[in-house]
């Protein structure tokens, strides 16, 4: 099992809709979780971090963490064409390693 899994394929959402991305992780003692956004041909940039169970909101982005089920999700409300990018989930595992998932591509259709 990979440390961080993002399995869903490209996600197409109409402008104004909610985009929902999921990520699961294998190390039960992981404590720190991140979402990076990467535009095509560009470098990743951090958009959200979450450390406690529950929801964390920042503007149109909400990160959700459920440690018991070992998943973290990202919701993008009122999706805009500028949200079209690949979103990378990253986790600091119990052995103090930062592992990235392979990413999920989001396409917002005007």
Partner 1 sequence: NAGVTQTPKFQVLKTGQSMTLQCAQDMNHNSMYWYRQDPGMGLRLIYYSASEGTTDKGEVPNGYNVSRLNKREFSLRLESAAPSQTSVYFCASNHSPGITNEKLFFGSGTQLSVL
- Which residues contact partner 1 by CB under 8 A? 4, 6, 32, 34, 42-46, 49, 51, 88, 90, 92, 96-103
Single out the residue of 91, 96, 85, 110 nearest to residue 26, CA to CA: 91
* Burial (CB count <10 Å: 0-12, 13-18, 19+), residue 22: middle
For the beta carbon of residue 109, count every other beta carbon within 10 angstroms: 11
How many angstroms from the chain centroid is the CA of residue 54?
15
For residue 100, the minimal CB distance to partner 1 (Å) is: 4
Q: Closer to partner 1 at the Cβ: 60 or 100?
A: 100
For residue 44, the minimal CB distance to partner 1 (Å) is: 6
For residue 8, the minimal CB distance to partner 1 (Å) is: 13
Q: Closer to partner 1 at the Cβ: 17 or 67?
A: 67
For residue 63, the minimal CB distance to partner 1 (Å) is: 14
Q: Closer to partner 1 at the Cβ: 69 or 96?
A: 96
Cα separation, 74 vs 86, in Å, equals 12
């Amino acid at each position: 099992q990979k440390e961080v899994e993002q399995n869903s394929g490209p996600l197409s959402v109409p402008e104004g809709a909610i985009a929902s991305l999921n990520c699961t992780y294998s190390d039960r003692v992981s404590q720190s979780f991140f979402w990076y956004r990467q535009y095509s041909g560009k470098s990743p940039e951090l958009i959200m971090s979450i450390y406690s169970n529950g929801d964390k909101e920042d503007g149109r982005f909400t990160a959700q963490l459920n440690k018991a089920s070992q998943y973290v999700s990202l919701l993008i409300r009122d999706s805009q064409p500028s949200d079209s990018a690949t979103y990378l989930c990253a986790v600091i595992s119990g052995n103090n390693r930062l592992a990235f998932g392979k990413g999920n591509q989001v396409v917002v259709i005007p």
